[in-house]
């Protein structure tokens, strides 16, 4: 079963899909991206993801390479042609191919669009949920526009590697004021001993997670008290529960933080409730965004 990818208007075999060495994404990380989960053959929250992509493009002064309708067609075709039931779609747009220069290339240079879709057997893994994950904290070394989903991910890569080398699943990043901003590729949450669900408010310090929006909405529907406020490492260490959210993991309990158990080190009841609600919102069609 050979995979196919989409590169600048063409469907090509995945194995031979290429962009030029002078692509600005390759040379300057001058581009943005988006990741969309596919669940039971359908993209989840397609509209919010495309809206966020539009925002990342606008904030980066990049143009849409194709119309939104065309992009949707490409995504759906790739899901179908790559036989993806559960998996993900990856979209990357860079400022095109031109001789290396920090200045924008001339107007006629078209941005580069690459789209892939692949199956992911551990998408929203139930086994990983039951086990829970370990997180360590590291200083947040990133830039001041983390709200843009930029392909410039070196600090995220370095931090995630350190986390892995220390046996952790994710690193939560500490801002200079001692609060936790977010994970290298996930949103950070805690549940206080009084049952309040807490996550940081939107700002340029974090990526506005699409899963975050869905979980905030579900938590409110479930009657939970939700507070969008920053929290510290100490708050997290003394929390009743902690969890992380992202497109590919949905909701995962954080059971140890810097090697210390959170409460009794097992997935918490609120986290479980939210995961159940999240999964049923997908099958009820509420999160499809068609
Ligand atoms: N923060 C960062 C830095 C991320 O890379 C991601 C993953 N895209 C998230 C948060 C979670 O966002 P989403 O729920 O849209 O996947």
CATH number, domain with residue 69: 3.30.470.10
Q: Which of 84, 119, 154 is the last residue of a domain?
A: 119
pLDDT of residue 286: 56
Query: Is any ligand 1 atom within 6 A of the Cβ of residue 186?
Result: yes
Ligand 1: residue whose CA is nearest its atom 8: 185
Q: Which secondary structure element, helix H or strand E, spans residue 171, and what is its range? A: strand 170-174
Q: Look at residue 285 in the predicted model and tell me its pLDDT.
A: 60
| Domain match, 113 and 131 both | no
Say how many domains are in the chain.
Answer: 2
Task: Choose one of 70, 104, 119: the last residue of a domain.
Answer: 119
User: How far is it, in rounded angstroms, from Cα 273 to Cα 220?
Assistant: 12
Q: Which residues contact 22 (CB under 8 A, 6 or more apart)?
A: 97, 98, 99, 100
The set of residues, in sequence order, having a beta carbon less than 8 Å from that of 18 and lying 6+ positions away, is 7
Residue 290 lies in a domain: no
Residue 289 lies in a domain: no
Rounded Cα–Cα distance for residues 90 and 83 (Å): 15
Task: Tell me how far the alpha carbon of residue 186 lies from the centroid of ligand 1, in angstroms.
Answer: 4
- Does residue 151 sit in the same domain as residue 203? yes
Q: Are residues 149 and 113 in the same domain?
A: no
Say if CB 45 and CB 288 are below 8 A apart: yes
Q: Split the chain (290 residues) into runs of 10 and give each run's mean pLDDT.
A: 92 97 98 98 97 98 95 97 97 98 97 97 90 98 98 98 98 97 98 98 98 98 98 98 97 98 97 97 65
Q: Cα angle at 146 between 105 and 48, to 5 degrees? A: 90
Tell which of 100, 119, 138 closes a domain: 119
Whether residues 142 and 165 share a domain: the answer is yes
Instruction: Tell me: do 165 and 275 sit in the same domain.
Output: yes
Q: How far apart are CA 140 and CA 75, in angstroms?
A: 33
How much is the pLDDT for 284?
78
Identify any residues that bridge with 88 across adjacent strands, giving them in sequence order. 37, 118
Residues 6+ apart with CB under 8 A from 142: 155, 156, 173
Ligand 1 binding pocket includes 24 (Cβ within 6 Å): no
Tell me: do 216 and 88 sit in the same domain. no
Cβ–ligand 1 contact at 170 (below 6 Å)? no
Residues 88 and 134 in one domain: no
Task: Assess contact for 88 and 248: CB atoms under 8 A.
Answer: yes
Asked whether residue 55 falls in the same domain as residue 142, the answer is no
Residues 154, 70 within the same domain: no
Alpha-carbon span 266 to 130, nearest angstrom: 8
Taking the CA atoms of residue 37, residue 249, residue 56 and residue 52 in that order, the dihedral angle to the nearest 10 degrees is 60
29 and 135 co-located in one domain: no
Domain span at 94: 4-119
150: CA distance to ligand 1 center in Å? 11
Candidate from 143, 186, 204, 208 with most ligand 1 atoms within 8 A of CB, to mutate: 186
Domain assignment present for 255: yes
CATH assignment at residue 273: 3.20.10.10
The residues annotated as belonging to the active site are 149
Atom of ligand 1 nearest to the CA of 247: 16
158 with 198, same domain? yes
99 Cα: distance to centroid of ligand 1 (angstroms):
32
Q: Do the domain assignments include residue 226? A: yes
181 within domain boundaries: yes
Alpha-carbon distance of 54 to 46, in angstroms, equals 12
Which residues lie across from 243 on neighbouring strands? 189, 253
Q: Do 152 and 276 belong to one domain?
A: yes
State residue 283's pLDDT score. Answer: 83
- pTM > 0.95: yes
């Amino acid at each position: 079963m050979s995979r196919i990818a989409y590169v600048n208007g063409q469907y090509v075999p995945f194995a031979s899909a290429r962009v030029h060495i002078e692509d600005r994404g390759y040379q300057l990380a001058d581009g943005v991206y988006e990741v969309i989960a596919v669940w039971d053959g359908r993209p989840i929250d397609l509209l919010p993801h495309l809206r966020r992509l539009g925002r990342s493009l606008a904030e980066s002064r990049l143009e849409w390479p194709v119309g939104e309708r065309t992009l949707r067609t490409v995504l759906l075709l790739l899901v179908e042609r790559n036989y993806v039931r559960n998996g993900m779609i990856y979209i990357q747009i860079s400022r095109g191919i031109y001789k290396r220069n920090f200045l924008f290339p001339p107007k006629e240079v078209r941005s580069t669009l690459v789209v892939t879709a692949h199956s992911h057997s551990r998408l929203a893994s139930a086994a990983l949920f039951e086990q829970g994950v370990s997180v360590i904290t590291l200083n947040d070394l990133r830039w001041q526009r983390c709200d843009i989903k930029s392909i410039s991910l070196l600090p995220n890569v370095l931090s995630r590697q350190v986390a892995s080398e220390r046996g952790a699943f994710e690193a939560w990043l500490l801002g200079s004021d001692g609060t936790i901003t977010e994970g290298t590729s996930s949103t950070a949450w805690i549940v206080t001993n009084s049952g309040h669900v807490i996550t940081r408010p939107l700002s340029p310090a974090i990526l506005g997670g699409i899963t975050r929006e869905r979980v905030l909405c579900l938590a409110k529907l479930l009657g939970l008290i939700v507070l969008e406020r920053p929290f510290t490492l100490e708050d997290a260490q003394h929390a009743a529960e902690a969890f992380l959210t992202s497109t590919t993991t949905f909701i995962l309990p954080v059971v140890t933080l810097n090697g210390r158990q959170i409460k009794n080190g097992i997935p918490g009841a609120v986290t479980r409730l939210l995961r159940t609600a999240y999964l049923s919102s997908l099958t009820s069609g509420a999160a499809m965004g068609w």
